[in-house]
Amino acid sequence: MDFLKRPRRLRQSATLRSLVRENHLRPENLIAPLFVIEGKAKREEIPSMPDQYRLSLDELSKEVKELWSLGVRTVSLFPAIDEFKKNAGATEALNPNGLNQLAILEVKATIPEMLIMTDVALDPYSSDGHDGLVDPRTGEILNDQTLEILAEMAVVQAKAGSNIIGPSDMMDGRVRFIREALEKEGLKNTLIMAYTAKYASAFYGPFRDALQSAPKKGDKKSYQMDPANVREAIKEAKLDEEEGADILMVKPGLPYLDVIAELRRHSDLPIAAYNVSGEYAMVKAAHMRGWLDENKIMLEMLTSFKRAGADMILTYFAKDAARLLDSETHVY
């Protein structure tokens, strides 16, 4: 046979495959979500998320040091608030001495160079479990009334030292409200990573277990996106860009690779993918049953986000992936 073109010539060895690899996954591309609780010397494993923990501040400090040593340079903090501190107005979200702000200070004191991302939504603080204020008569999620609280939350977090504000609430206009509030307070260098296309997904269950933040009534379909839509994501991306977002995010990641690719095609802003709790739990469960190789699946999954166009990935696999990516013996 006389073939002039043989694609397999470029696949002959690990060294050659590495040389021509189109997409590269590195620890600095990963953002590690971390759950925080009050107390000392607490490291509570989350049953639906094996190897993930709710961490007291002293344990958070240890985790941050380990992540930094592995090359992970960004963490995203999620506080698990005691139930008695929650109310319909989510007022604990605005407490400058609240758990979230103390966690920010702890990370900065431990590794000053570590980038910190914080979440802006009411559900961890709300007795209703929704991302926005709820009309007690009708159950409607009140968009405009929520915006002022979200903006104030963002300012409190930024003043504590958060580098990246992550509005995950999906209220209309929240990026503009937050950007204007940050500018007014002189916090012009604080980034906004908009949860641009956050879908009303069934993949969030383990995360809600971790924070005990599931809605008490109803669901989130009136504000999170319909999983059937992709053009709507482009519309949301354009709005977030116009309103001052610095980074756009797609959440969940794995079932929405097409959406990541579409945002990459339509925007020059950096794109983030959130490899969410349900995606993590599926891999862990399959590995525990001996059905899949966790490490190989993990790296294949994370690489798929890069291939689709994501510049960075929020993932509960951050620490494990960083260990593998830093290994001299690792060949992928």
Angle at 331 between CA 326 and CA 332, to 5 degrees: 100
Per-residue pLDDT of the chain (332 residues), as tens digits, is: 778 888 988 999 988 988 898 999 999 999 999 999 999 999 999 999 999 999 999 999 999 999 999 999 999 999 999 999 999 999 999 999 999 999 999 999 999 999 999 999 999 999 988 999 999 999 999 999 999 999 999 999 999 999 999 999 999 999 999 999 999 999 999 999 999 999 999 999 898 888 877 778 888 999 999 999 999 999 999 999 999 999 999 999 999 999 999 999 999 999 999 999 999 999 999 999 999 999 999 999 999 999 999 999 999 999 999 999 976 444 44
Query: Quick check: is 10 in a domain?
Result: no
Q: How far apart are CA 94 and CA 112, in angstroms?
A: 24
Query: Domain range spanning residue 167?
Result: 24-325
Query: Quick check: is 18 in a domain?
Result: no
Give the model confidence (pLDDT) of 39-48 as tens digits: 999 999 999 9
Model confidence pTM above 0.75: yes
Query: Quick check: is 302 in a domain?
Result: yes
Query: Quick check: is 4 in a domain?
Result: no
Q: From the candidates 86, 220, 251, 284, give the one annotated as an active-site residue.
A: 251
Q: From the candidates 86, 198, 220, 319, give the one annotated as an active-site residue.
A: 198
Query: Quick check: is 238 in a domain?
Result: yes
Query: What SS3 class is residue 58?
Result: helix
The sign of the dihedral angle between the CA atoms of 17, 20, 26, 30 is negative
Query: Quick check: is 332 in a domain?
Result: no
> Residue 105 belongs to a domain with what CATH number?
3.20.20.70
Count of CB atoms within 10 A of residue 66's CB? 14
Query: Quick check: is 129 in a domain?
Result: yes
The number of domains in the chain is 1
Query: Quick check: is 140 in a domain?
Result: yes
* Confidence at residue 331, expressed as pLDDT on a 0 to 100 scale: 45
Query: Phi, psi at residue 117, to the nearest 5°?
Result: -110, 140
* Confidence at residue 213, expressed as pLDDT on a 0 to 100 scale: 74
248 forms beta bridges with 194, 271
Catalytic-residue membership of 251: yes
Catalytic-residue membership of 198: yes
